[in-house]
Amino acid sequence: MDIANFTQHRRAIPGLHSLAARLIDVALVVFGALGASGVRFDGLVQSRIDTAFVAFAAAFTLVLFPMFGVYSSWRGRSMLRMIGQVSLGWLIVQGCSLILMFSLHRSDFISRLWFAYWTGITGGSLIVVRLAVHAVLAHMRHAGMNLRHVAVVGCGANCQGVIRAIEASPESGFRAIGGFDLKPMRSDSCDGVPLYRDFDRFVSFVRANDIKEVWLTLPLSEERTISRVVYAFREDLVNVRFMPDVRSVALFDSGMTDLLGMPAINLVASPLSAHAVLQKEMFDRVFAACALFVLSPLMLAIAFAVKCSSRGPVFFTQKRKGADGRIFRIYKFRSMRVHTEESGVVRQATKRDSRITRVGAILRRTSLDELPQFINVLRGDMSVVGPRPHAIEHDELYQKVVNGYIHRYRIKPGITGWAQINGFRGETDHIEKMQSRVEHDLYYLRNWSFGLDMRIVVATVFKGFVHSNAY
């Protein structure tokens, strides 16, 4: 059976509510600039607001926010993910506007402090307004308004689990009011929701109660049941949605992708969609460019210290594996004296390693030796957040003995990562240490969101740079 016959994809159509949301966002951008001016300057008369800058930001908001799914329906979706999408969209808008101002040679007229206030005020306002709207909608839905009734088709415990998940999230706006259980348990109901064993009675129940959502939470083997449900509602205005139960075979959370115009379900593939990869790429490039600009005085000072500490180049380079196993050359500040290694062997640094210089010891303990990797991010070899890359010789070793190690290559390696902020840094002298590190990397892959990336970045800044395992 062709999955396209029963899978329905709804595209976001900018209606009146979407138009209103766009107008409100533009207003927040403008009023945020004025508010920042009031904080930074004594009054509007003395302010140095560049109206062109504000206009560019408003225009980029209208163009880029839809690309980040900001105006899509958030019914039943994570609010934390929404906050991450809005934050990422706004940072990209400001980055693009700033680049445009630089290209027009108008950056000298911009107050950096005003720009920082504007970015913070508007970003906070964009999030607060959405949280307020969500709170109002959640209150309405708890009161029984703005609801979508759902009927669930499933098997035994899985069917009841989906119903309980719906009931546990009343703010989502969905209500389960009936179900059809292919493998019924003893009870004919779940949390007060009736479960039918007779298919015809279930169809009559859906029609009698004017239910517009039927969710099929079935394993892929139930093709006949799927066809039967789709055929039964072929002349009804009912949304039939297929949520395949692939927990036993899927490595990551399953997602849909389009291949040659045909929908495909990802069982073992990159957990990040093309849309998410694009968002991450845009953030990485903007963040890396800003980081290199801000940190350039510090990096020049470190380069001078490294050069004076011992003979040899400022940078240490080594081949590493990136996304899809692609080889690239990583950059670090050199922290060891120049030495030769046996061919095919890379010896990890250990405590009181005689190869490490005095300056190098400081750099390694504070992770400042990693700063040149922002160049790798800007080149597209790495990401700001992701699994840390290892020497190719270590990759070949651990890939054979550590379960799931190869899946670290499904996204770009990062300067920092979930494993690193949880203490899994430095020497991996036991296989168990690397297994724990990989488990944290796989957790990151399964649960990626922009919000999680920001959490890791903030944790790295406040606690991740200095660690007892870094030497």
- pLDDT tens for each residue of 109-140: 778 888 889 999 999 999 999 888 888 877 77
Rounded to an integer, what distance in angstroms lies between the CA atom of residue 439 and that of residue 423? 13
Which of 142, 164, 183 represents a domain boundary (last residue)?
A: 142
Residue 3 is assigned to a structural domain of this protein: no
Q: How far is CA 289 from the centre of its chain?
A: 20
Of 164, 153, 126, 107, whose CA–CA distance to 28 is shortest?
A: 126
My answer on whether 307 and 340 are in the same domain is yes
Phi, psi of 212 (to 5 degrees): -105, -5
Tell me which residue of 415, 422, 467 sits closest to 443, measured CA to CA.
Answer: 422
Please tell me whether residues 191 and 299 are part of one structural domain. no
Among the three residues 142, 175, 196, which one is the final residue of a domain in this structure? 142
Query: Is 389 inside a domain boundary?
Result: yes
Q: Report the range out of 9-18, 236-245, 266-275, 363-372 with the highest average pLDDT.
A: 363-372
Query: Is the four-CA dihedral 207, 209, 212, 217 of positive or negative sign?
Result: negative
pLDDT higher than threshold 60 for residue 153: yes
* Mean pLDDT calculated for residue range 26-42: 87
Statement to judge: residues 371 and 301 lie in one domain: yes
- 318 with 259, same domain: the answer is no
pLDDT value of residue 268:
63
> What are phi and psi for residue 38, nearest 5 degrees?
-65, -35
Instruction: Express each pLDDT in 429-445 by its tens digit.
Output: 677 778 888 899 988 98
Structural domain boundaries, residue 203? 147-265
Q: Which residue has the higher pLDDT, 7 or 36?
A: 36
Of the ranges 253-257, 350-354, 357-361, which is most confident? 357-361
Torsional sign, CA 342, 348, 351, 353 = positive
Q: Residue 385's pLDDT is what?
A: 94
Q: What is the pLDDT of residue 11?
A: 36
Between residues 462 and 414, which one has the greater pLDDT?
A: 414
- Is the domain of 327 the same as that of 458? yes
pLDDT at residue number 15: 47
Q: Angle at Cα 435 formed by Cα 431 and Cα 441, nearest 5°?
A: 145
pLDDT tens for 323-341 read 888 999 999 999 888 766 6
The answer to whether residues 361 and 214 belong to one domain is no
Radius of gyration of the chain (CA): 27
Alpha-helical segments (H) within 69-218: 79-103, 112-142, 156-167, 199-208
What was the pLDDT predicted at 430?
72
Please indicate, yes or no, whether residues 377 and 446 belong to a single structural domain of this protein: yes
pLDDT at position 407 is: 84
| Most confident region among 9-23, 215-229, 371-385 by mean pLDDT | 371-385
How many domains is the chain partitioned into structurally? 3
Report pLDDT digits (tens) over 354-398: 788 888 888 888 889 999 999 999 999 999 999 999 888 888 888
- What is the per-residue pLDDT for 169? 76
Mean predicted confidence (pLDDT) in 143-168: 81
Task: Identify the top-confidence range among 15-24, 66-75, 258-267, 377-386.
Answer: 377-386
Q: What is the mean pLDDT of residues 149-160?
A: 84
Residue range 89-104: mean pLDDT, rounded: 87
Measured CA angle at 319 (ends 315, 325), to 5 deg: 145
Residue 11 inside a domain? The answer is: no
Whether 203 shows a pLDDT value over 70: the answer reads yes
Instruction: Give me the pLDDT at residue 298, please.
Output: 93
Q: According to the model, what pLDDT value does residue 182 have?
A: 84
Average pLDDT over residues 237-264: 67
Task: At 123, list the tokens.
Answer: 């970003």
Is the full-model pTM beyond 0.85?
no
User: For residue 350, is pLDDT > 80?
Assistant: no
Query: Could you tell me if 282 and 338 lie in one domain?
Result: yes
Rounded Cα–Cα distance for residues 277 and 21 (Å): 25
**The pLDDT value given to residue 372:** 95
Distance CA 414, CA 373 (A): 9
Q: Are residues 223 and 368 in the same domain?
A: no
The β-bridge relationship of strands 193-196 and 213-217 is unpaired
117/221: higher pLDDT: 117
> Quick check: is 356 in a domain?
yes
* Element at 445 (helix H, strand E): helix 431-446
Q: Does residue 471 lie within any of the structural domains?
A: no
Instruction: Please give the C-alpha separations between residue 13 and each of 247, 275, 306, in angstroms, as whole numbers.
Output: 32, 18, 56
pLDDT of residue 256: 63
Under a CB-based contact definition with an 8 Å cutoff, are residues 64 and 3 in contact? no
Residues 286 and 216 in one domain: no
Going by pLDDT thresholds of 50, 70 and 90, the confidence category of residue 144 is: low
Residue 1 lies in a domain: no
Domain of residue 163, CATH code: 3.40.50.720
- For the record, the structure tokens of 246 come out as 């692939």
The percent helix, strand, coil of the chain (3-state, each to 5) is 55, 15, 35
Residue-wise pLDDT for 401-413, tens only, equals 888 888 888 889 9
Highest mean pLDDT (candidates 6-20, 237-251, 308-322): 308-322
Report the mean per-residue pLDDT for the chain. Answer: 80
> Which stretch of 140-144, 290-294, 368-372 has the lowest confidence by average pLDDT?
140-144
- Assess if residue 427 is contained within a domain: yes
Residue found under tokens 């445009």: 100
Query: What sign does the dihedral 352-358-362-363 (CA atoms) show?
Result: negative
Question: In this structure, is residue 4 part of a structural domain?
Answer: no
Q: What is the pLDDT of residue 436?
A: 87
According to DSSP, residue 67 is labeled G
Same domain, 151 and 79: no
pLDDT at residue number 429: 60
On the question of pLDDT at 346 being above 60, the answer is no
> Which of 112, 142, 172 marks a domain boundary?
142
Whether 280 and 403 share a structural domain: yes
